[in-house]
Structure formats: C-alpha cells, structure tokens
Amino acid sequence: MGYFDIPVDHVYGQPVILDYLASKYICSDDLVVVSPEVGGVARARAFSKKLSDAVLAIVDKRRHGHNVAEVESCQQGVL
C-alpha cells in the first residue's frame, strides 16, 4: 500500500483460476505448476496442493545485471 495516497485492495486471482480449471475437468496428472523463480515457490506450492497435488516445477535463474537473467536449471518433482 505504500505507493498510493488512497486505500487499495489486493485482489487475488487464485480462486478464479482454480474455478476455471475445475470447469474444464482437467486431470491433475496433466497439469504442471511452474514457479518462475525461487521467490514464488510458496505460491506455486499452494496452487499445486489445491490442484490435487499437481506436479511442481521450479525455475532456478540467476540475475547477472538489470533485466538480465539466465536459467541455471529447472527442478521438477511431485510434492
């Protein structure tokens, strides 16, 4: 909230995305939840759990400068 002079609400999209995927009757074996960096693992893990323990993949990248990133590895596993 530090960027605005007025009150704001953070709107979460997770319930909408989960409802959409549920309406498509997608099997959890056909899903992979990917975290684009280590900082998003907790959020990706929460999505994975709510999608019947879908496979979770984590991209490990290193930043070498401003707007310069390189993928070191991609880790995948079932939680």
* pLDDT number for residue 72: 64
- 8-52 pLDDT, tens digit each: 888 888 899 889 988 888 887 888 898 888 888 899 999 889 888
Tell me which of 55 and 60 has the higher pLDDT: 55
pLDDT in tens, 64-74: 777 776 666 66
Instruction: Please say whether the beta carbons of 3 and 10 come within 8 A.
Output: no
Going from N- to C-terminal start, the domains of the chain cover 14-77
DSSP state, 35? E
Q: How far apart are CA 13 and CA 61, in angstroms?
A: 25
Q: What is the pLDDT of residue 67?
A: 75
pTM: 0.67
Give me the helices (H) in 28-67, please. Answer: 41-50
CATH 3.90.79.10 fits 14-77, yes or no: no
pLDDT reported for residue 79? 41
